[in-house]
Structure 1
Amino acid sequence: MTARAALTKNQISVLEKLERASAPLSAYMLLDQLRERGFRAPLQVYRALDALIKEGFVHRLESLNAFVACAEPHDHSHSMIAFAICDQCGQASEFSDHAIGHQLDDWVRSTGFAPKKAVIEFRGVCAKCQAAGAA
């Protein structure tokens, strides 16, 4: 059985909304979009999001307090993951690189620091919005 097959109905509903979204969605945006599927309380969305994050299907963007579906399968516990977030259109692009992740891990180990969480987010303007602004 795949990990996706083990998801609950609510988790699948939340994941599908995030996968179809053109930009990150907040929990309350998800709640509004899922009311027709029986969602009534923020707790329903937050429980689904927590499980989806734990299973590696969803990422939380700290600077936006919003969520995106994972762009590609990767090891979330040992991989560097970063996001480029466009301030104009809201698009969030996911980036993962094992070599950079290993360099960061080596640096953290060499300093004796005990990290609990790492979030790398770049904010700016995407190439599409830059091109539209230059036109």
Structure 2
Amino acid sequence: MNAHHDLTKNQELVFGTLSAADGPLSAYTILDRLRDRGFRAPLQVYRALDKLTDYGLVHRLESINSFVACAGPHCHGHGSLAFAICEKCGQVEEFSDETVEQRLGVWSREHGFKPTKTAIEIRGTCAACLAA
């Protein structure tokens, strides 16, 4: 748990659910898993996810409309993150690449573009599924 943030009960429950998950979860899957803990409305989940995302504890995977717990503290030092999403088993690998980050920075400066957030999503098949 990130000691820099005092999480609400709902945020802790949502973060715990994502941390224990084998792969990314949609907000509705999180809601289903937390119904017996007092969650009744999608808004409860979305509010918690918004704050957890702001805190950098959770990442939203836009292409599959799902969320994952942050893989570790390494990501907070990077302006851009990349996610490799296996379309067969659903596993997500989070990583950053200095070369890609530098190239995006150069492009942004050359085009007068000021990025606020960069997330690259690569969808395909992971090594384990390819080997199976």
TM-score (norm. length: structure 1): 0.88
Map of 1:50 onto structure 2:
50
Q: Is the partner of 2:81 in helix, strand or coil?
A: strand
Map of 2:28 onto structure 1:
28
Distance 1:22 1:131 in 2: 20
Distance 2:98 2:38 in 1: 40
RMSD: 1.8
Q: Is the partner of 2:118 in helix, strand or coil?
A: coil
Map of 2:122 onto structure 1:
122
Unaligned runs of 5+ in 2: none
Q: Does the CA-based 8 Å contact 1:80-1:96 persist in structure 2? A: yes
Read off the aligned partner of 2:4 and give its amino acid letter. Answer: A
- CA separation of 1:9/1:15 partners in 2, compared to 1, >3 Å: closer, same or farther? same
Map of 2:4 onto structure 1:
3
Are 1:71 and 2:74 counterparts?
no
Are 1:84 and 2:74 counterparts?
no
Cα drift, residue 76 of structure 1: 4.4
Q: Is the partner of 1:71 in helix, strand or coil?
A: coil
Distance 2:110 2:91 in 1: 35
- CA separation of 1:127/1:78 partners in 2, compared to 1, >3 Å: closer, same or farther? closer
Distance 2:39 2:78 in 1: 34
Q: Is the partner of 1:68 in helix, strand or coil?
A: strand
Unaligned runs of 5+ in 1: none
Identity across matched positions, percent: 59
Distance 2:75 2:106 in 1: 17
Map of 1:39 onto structure 2:
39
Q: How many residues align?
A: 131
Cα drift, residue 100 of structure 1: 3.1
Q: Is the partner of 1:100 in helix, strand or coil?
A: helix
TM-score (norm. length: structure 2): 0.90
Q: Deviations along 1:41-94, whole A, 9 cap, x unmatched?
A: 000000000000000000000000000000011454852200000000001110
Read off the aligned partner of 1:57 and give its amino acid letter. Answer: L
Cα drift, residue 104 of structure 1: 1.4
Farther-moved stretch of structure 1 (104-113 vs 37-46) = 104-113
Farther-moved stretch of structure 1 (115-124 vs 33-42) = 115-124
Distance 1:76 1:105 in 2: 17
Q: Does the CA-based 8 Å contact 2:86-2:92 persist in structure 1? A: yes
